[in-house]
Amino acid sequence: MSETGTRINKFLSEVGYCSRRQADALIEQGRIYVNRKPAKMGMKVSEDDMIEVDGEKINQSKKKKIFISLNKPRGVVCTTNAGVEENNIIDFINFSERIFPIGRLDKTTTGLILLTNDGETANKILKTANNNEKEYLVKVNRPIPETILRKMSEGVPILGKTTKKCIVEKVKTNQFKIILTQGLNRQIRRMCDYFDYKVVALQRIRIMNIKLDIPEGKYRLLTDGEIKLLKK
Protein backbone atom coordinates (compact mmCIF):
# COMPACT_ATOMS: atom_id res chain seq x y z
CA MET A 1 0.00 0.00 0.00
CA SER A 2 1.36 3.38 -1.01
CA GLU A 3 0.97 6.83 0.55
CA THR A 4 2.08 8.56 -2.65
CA GLY A 5 0.51 6.31 -5.27
CA THR A 6 -2.79 6.49 -7.16
CA ARG A 7 -6.26 6.21 -5.66
CA ILE A 8 -7.40 2.64 -6.16
CA ASN A 9 -10.52 3.52 -8.17
CA LYS A 10 -8.44 5.59 -10.60
CA PHE A 11 -5.78 2.87 -10.74
CA LEU A 12 -8.32 0.21 -11.72
CA SER A 13 -9.81 2.48 -14.39
CA GLU A 14 -6.38 3.29 -15.84
CA VAL A 15 -5.46 -0.38 -16.25
CA GLY A 16 -8.78 -1.00 -17.97
CA TYR A 17 -10.51 -3.12 -15.33
CA CYS A 18 -13.59 -0.96 -14.71
CA SER A 19 -14.75 2.63 -14.30
CA ARG A 20 -14.07 4.57 -11.10
CA ARG A 21 -17.74 4.34 -10.13
CA GLN A 22 -17.73 0.57 -10.59
CA ALA A 23 -14.51 0.28 -8.59
CA ASP A 24 -16.09 2.17 -5.68
CA ALA A 25 -19.03 -0.22 -5.75
CA LEU A 26 -16.70 -3.24 -5.70
CA ILE A 27 -14.84 -1.77 -2.70
CA GLU A 28 -18.11 -1.24 -0.82
CA GLN A 29 -19.07 -4.86 -1.56
CA GLY A 30 -15.77 -6.07 -0.09
CA ARG A 31 -14.69 -7.67 -3.37
CA ILE A 32 -11.32 -5.89 -3.75
CA TYR A 33 -8.23 -6.86 -1.77
CA VAL A 34 -4.85 -5.11 -1.66
CA ASN A 35 -1.95 -7.21 -0.38
CA ARG A 36 -4.46 -9.75 0.99
CA LYS A 37 -6.36 -7.10 2.98
CA PRO A 38 -9.79 -5.59 2.14
CA ALA A 39 -9.44 -2.38 0.13
CA LYS A 40 -10.71 0.87 1.64
CA MET A 41 -12.38 3.75 -0.19
CA GLY A 42 -9.85 6.36 -1.28
CA MET A 43 -6.76 4.31 -0.45
CA LYS A 44 -3.71 4.72 -2.67
CA VAL A 45 -1.86 1.90 -4.41
CA SER A 46 1.17 1.45 -6.62
CA GLU A 47 2.37 -1.12 -9.15
CA ASP A 48 4.19 -2.92 -6.31
CA ASP A 49 0.89 -3.76 -4.59
CA MET A 50 -0.97 -7.00 -5.26
CA ILE A 51 -4.53 -6.12 -6.20
CA GLU A 52 -7.23 -8.80 -6.43
CA VAL A 53 -10.91 -8.60 -7.38
CA ASP A 54 -13.01 -11.64 -6.44
CA GLY A 55 -9.73 -13.53 -5.95
CA GLU A 56 -8.43 -12.68 -9.44
CA LYS A 57 -5.10 -10.87 -9.64
CA ILE A 58 -5.33 -7.75 -11.77
CA ASN A 59 -2.96 -7.43 -14.71
CA GLN A 60 -1.49 -3.99 -14.14
CA SER A 61 0.01 -3.44 -17.59
CA LYS A 62 -1.67 -0.76 -19.70
CA LYS A 63 -3.96 -2.30 -22.32
CA LYS A 64 -4.91 -1.18 -25.79
CA LYS A 65 -8.08 0.90 -25.50
CA ILE A 66 -11.18 -0.81 -26.86
CA PHE A 67 -14.49 0.88 -27.65
CA ILE A 68 -17.53 -1.09 -28.80
CA SER A 69 -20.98 0.00 -29.95
CA LEU A 70 -23.74 -2.54 -29.19
CA ASN A 71 -27.39 -2.47 -30.20
CA LYS A 72 -28.75 -4.00 -26.99
CA PRO A 73 -31.87 -6.17 -27.31
CA ARG A 74 -34.69 -6.24 -24.79
CA GLY A 75 -33.95 -8.56 -21.85
CA VAL A 76 -30.18 -8.10 -21.69
CA VAL A 77 -29.01 -6.78 -18.31
CA CYS A 78 -26.23 -4.14 -18.15
CA THR A 79 -24.07 -5.63 -15.41
CA THR A 80 -20.52 -6.93 -15.22
CA ASN A 81 -21.52 -9.49 -12.58
CA ALA A 82 -21.59 -12.27 -15.14
CA GLY A 83 -21.50 -15.13 -12.65
CA VAL A 84 -24.72 -14.09 -10.89
CA GLU A 85 -27.04 -12.33 -13.37
CA GLU A 86 -28.51 -14.32 -16.25
CA ASN A 87 -28.71 -12.62 -19.65
CA ASN A 88 -25.95 -10.20 -18.64
CA ILE A 89 -24.36 -7.97 -21.25
CA ILE A 90 -20.84 -9.43 -20.82
CA ASP A 91 -21.92 -12.99 -21.60
CA PHE A 92 -24.17 -11.72 -24.40
CA ILE A 93 -21.41 -9.91 -26.26
CA ASN A 94 -18.82 -12.61 -25.39
CA PHE A 95 -15.86 -10.41 -26.34
CA SER A 96 -12.33 -11.85 -26.18
CA GLU A 97 -11.00 -9.20 -23.76
CA ARG A 98 -12.33 -7.74 -20.51
CA ILE A 99 -14.68 -4.83 -21.19
CA PHE A 100 -17.50 -3.16 -19.27
CA PRO A 101 -20.54 -1.07 -20.23
CA ILE A 102 -20.38 2.73 -20.01
CA GLY A 103 -23.47 3.37 -17.92
CA ARG A 104 -26.53 1.21 -18.38
CA LEU A 105 -29.86 0.69 -20.10
CA ASP A 106 -32.83 -0.83 -18.31
CA LYS A 107 -33.56 -4.49 -19.04
CA THR A 108 -36.58 -3.54 -21.16
CA THR A 109 -34.82 -0.66 -22.96
CA THR A 110 -33.14 -1.35 -26.29
CA GLY A 111 -30.57 0.42 -28.43
CA LEU A 112 -27.12 1.92 -28.22
CA ILE A 113 -24.74 1.19 -25.38
CA LEU A 114 -20.99 1.58 -25.44
CA LEU A 115 -18.54 -0.85 -23.86
CA THR A 116 -14.85 -0.25 -23.22
CA ASN A 117 -11.79 -1.09 -21.14
CA ASP A 118 -10.93 2.62 -20.79
CA GLY A 119 -12.12 3.60 -17.33
CA GLU A 120 -10.98 7.23 -17.53
CA THR A 121 -12.92 7.98 -20.71
CA ALA A 122 -15.94 6.09 -19.35
CA ASN A 123 -15.86 8.29 -16.25
CA LYS A 124 -15.82 11.48 -18.36
CA ILE A 125 -18.73 10.29 -20.50
CA LEU A 126 -20.83 9.46 -17.43
CA LYS A 127 -20.08 12.71 -15.60
CA THR A 128 -23.29 14.76 -15.65
CA ALA A 129 -21.39 18.05 -15.46
CA ASN A 130 -19.95 17.40 -18.92
CA ASN A 131 -23.47 17.69 -20.44
CA ASN A 132 -22.91 14.78 -22.82
CA GLU A 133 -25.97 14.23 -25.02
CA LYS A 134 -27.91 10.97 -25.17
CA GLU A 135 -30.83 10.70 -27.60
CA TYR A 136 -33.81 8.35 -27.29
CA LEU A 137 -36.82 7.32 -29.35
CA VAL A 138 -39.86 6.97 -27.10
CA LYS A 139 -43.24 5.35 -27.84
CA VAL A 140 -46.08 5.89 -25.36
CA ASN A 141 -49.43 4.19 -24.88
CA ARG A 142 -51.62 6.93 -26.41
CA PRO A 143 -51.40 10.12 -28.50
CA ILE A 144 -49.25 12.78 -26.87
CA PRO A 145 -49.84 16.44 -27.79
CA GLU A 146 -47.20 19.09 -28.45
CA THR A 147 -48.26 20.94 -25.28
CA ILE A 148 -47.20 18.00 -23.10
CA LEU A 149 -43.91 17.58 -24.97
CA ARG A 150 -43.18 21.28 -24.50
CA LYS A 151 -43.77 21.00 -20.75
CA MET A 152 -41.57 17.91 -20.65
CA SER A 153 -38.74 19.83 -22.32
CA GLU A 154 -38.90 22.57 -19.69
CA GLY A 155 -38.26 20.19 -16.78
CA VAL A 156 -40.29 17.67 -14.79
CA PRO A 157 -40.28 17.13 -11.00
CA ILE A 158 -39.09 13.57 -10.32
CA LEU A 159 -37.05 11.98 -7.53
CA GLY A 160 -37.15 15.16 -5.47
CA LYS A 161 -35.66 17.38 -8.15
CA THR A 162 -36.59 18.99 -11.47
CA THR A 163 -35.03 17.50 -14.58
CA LYS A 164 -32.75 19.67 -16.71
CA LYS A 165 -34.25 21.40 -19.73
CA CYS A 166 -33.99 19.13 -22.75
CA ILE A 167 -34.90 18.87 -26.43
CA VAL A 168 -38.11 17.00 -27.25
CA GLU A 169 -39.38 16.50 -30.80
CA LYS A 170 -42.60 14.81 -31.91
CA VAL A 171 -42.17 11.98 -34.46
CA LYS A 172 -45.62 10.37 -34.67
CA THR A 173 -48.94 10.60 -32.85
CA ASN A 174 -47.65 8.61 -29.89
CA GLN A 175 -43.89 8.76 -30.51
CA PHE A 176 -41.21 11.38 -29.84
CA LYS A 177 -37.44 11.89 -29.62
CA ILE A 178 -35.77 13.28 -26.52
CA ILE A 179 -32.18 14.43 -25.94
CA LEU A 180 -30.95 14.31 -22.34
CA THR A 181 -27.73 15.48 -20.70
CA GLN A 182 -28.39 13.76 -17.38
CA GLY A 183 -29.16 10.19 -16.41
CA LEU A 184 -31.50 9.95 -13.46
CA ASN A 185 -32.86 6.52 -12.58
CA ARG A 186 -35.54 5.53 -15.14
CA GLN A 187 -35.71 9.21 -16.05
CA ILE A 188 -37.73 9.08 -19.28
CA ARG A 189 -40.25 6.61 -17.87
CA ARG A 190 -40.71 8.78 -14.76
CA MET A 191 -41.08 11.94 -16.89
CA CYS A 192 -43.83 10.26 -18.91
CA ASP A 193 -45.48 8.89 -15.75
CA TYR A 194 -45.71 12.45 -14.41
CA PHE A 195 -48.04 13.33 -17.33
CA ASP A 196 -49.93 10.00 -16.99
CA TYR A 197 -48.34 8.34 -20.03
CA LYS A 198 -46.82 4.87 -20.07
CA VAL A 199 -43.72 4.06 -22.12
CA VAL A 200 -44.34 1.01 -24.31
CA ALA A 201 -41.03 1.13 -26.20
CA LEU A 202 -37.79 2.96 -25.42
CA GLN A 203 -34.69 2.91 -27.61
CA ARG A 204 -31.45 4.87 -27.28
CA ILE A 205 -30.32 5.99 -30.72
CA ARG A 206 -27.31 8.20 -30.00
CA ILE A 207 -24.58 8.83 -27.41
CA MET A 208 -22.70 12.05 -28.15
CA ASN A 209 -21.21 11.57 -31.64
CA ILE A 210 -22.01 7.84 -31.86
CA LYS A 211 -25.26 6.94 -33.62
CA LEU A 212 -27.10 3.63 -33.60
CA ASP A 213 -26.27 2.13 -37.01
CA ILE A 214 -26.21 -1.65 -36.53
CA PRO A 215 -28.93 -4.36 -36.30
CA GLU A 216 -30.34 -5.33 -32.92
CA GLY A 217 -28.10 -7.77 -31.08
CA LYS A 218 -25.00 -6.88 -33.13
CA TYR A 219 -21.91 -4.88 -32.18
CA ARG A 220 -18.96 -3.20 -33.88
CA LEU A 221 -15.68 -1.58 -32.88
CA LEU A 222 -15.62 2.20 -33.03
CA THR A 223 -13.32 3.78 -35.60
CA ASP A 224 -10.27 5.80 -34.56
CA GLY A 225 -12.07 8.97 -35.71
CA GLU A 226 -15.14 8.18 -33.61
CA ILE A 227 -12.99 7.49 -30.55
CA LYS A 228 -11.09 10.74 -30.98
CA LEU A 229 -14.34 12.75 -31.08
CA LEU A 230 -15.76 10.77 -28.16
CA LYS A 231 -12.74 11.61 -25.99
CA LYS A 232 -13.08 15.32 -26.75
Catalytic residue among 106, 118, 196, 213: 106
Q: What burial class does residue 174 get, using C-beta atoms within 10 Å of its C-beta: 0-12 exposed, 13-18 middle, 19+ buried?
A: middle
Q: How far apart are CA 8 and CA 125, in angstroms?
A: 20
193 is catalytic: no
Q: Are 46 and 7 in contact (CB under 8 A)?
A: no
Query: How many angstroms separate the first and last alpha carbons of the chain?
Result: 33
Instruction: Report the catalytic residues.
Output: 106
